[in-house]
Amino acid sequence: MLNLIANTDIEKAVYELLNPIISDKGLKIVKIQFQNSKKSKLLIFLDKNDGKLTVDECGDISMEISSLLDIESIIKDPFRLEVSSAGIDRYLTSLEDLIKYKNCNVKVKSENYTERGKLIRHGPSYLTLSNKDGEKSIDFSSVLDVKIDLEGMSLETIKEMEFK
């Protein structure tokens, strides 16, 4: 099963802690990213099960998440927390997302390469992109992230995607 929500051990621990609480609020976690550096940052991208997530809702849930993370101490060193909507250039982290955004331009990132193209199909263990070089199937086992790629998309297509 495809699950690109959390890649690292810290991201997975944060997901396990937060998912039940987020789900109870009618929200879902789309992506968690922990950027470990001098100024570490934890990014949490959320979506609403029905409707659009507002800035105020992000602010409210951010305070709750911050408190939980302080109590659980999953991340030992200081970090900045950013909670936001998944946005129009969202990460695709589940098979449901791949179905919903079929025929959209995506950027697929692995440890060794980044590939861009139109998402034309997927199976249980792969996705296939089409671009100027032809079609390329990519095994999920090598994929770190799949994200909507707005580059080269018309404004009309972007507006249509907003209502998916």
Could you report the per-residue pLDDT of 42-74, keeping only the tens digit for each? 999 999 988 788 999 999 999 999 999 999 989
pLDDT (mean) for 98-103:
90
Percentage of residues in the chain having pLDDT higher than 90: 65
> Do residues 65 and 102 share a domain?
no
pLDDT number for residue 79: 95
Q: Is 152 helix (H, G, I), strand (E, B) or coil?
A: coil
**What is the band of 3 on the pLDDT scale with cuts at 50, 70, 90?**
confident
User: 10: pLDDT confidence band, cut at 50, 70 and 90?
Assistant: very high
The residue out of 50, 85, 120 marking a domain boundary is 85
Q: CA 67, CA 36: separation in Å to the nearest integer?
A: 20
Task: Give CA torsion, residues 94, 82, 158, 108, to 10 deg.
Answer: -50
Domain boundary among 45, 67, 85: 85
Same-domain status, 16 and 79: yes
* Per-residue pLDDT at 147 exceeds 70: yes
| Same domain membership, residue 72 and residue 21 | yes
Q: Within a domain: residue 46?
A: yes
Please report whether residue 4 resides in a domain. no
pTM of the model: 0.86
Position 2 pLDDT exceeds 90:
no
Which structural domain, as residue segments, surrounds residue 59? 9-85
Specify the residue for token string 């946005």: 87
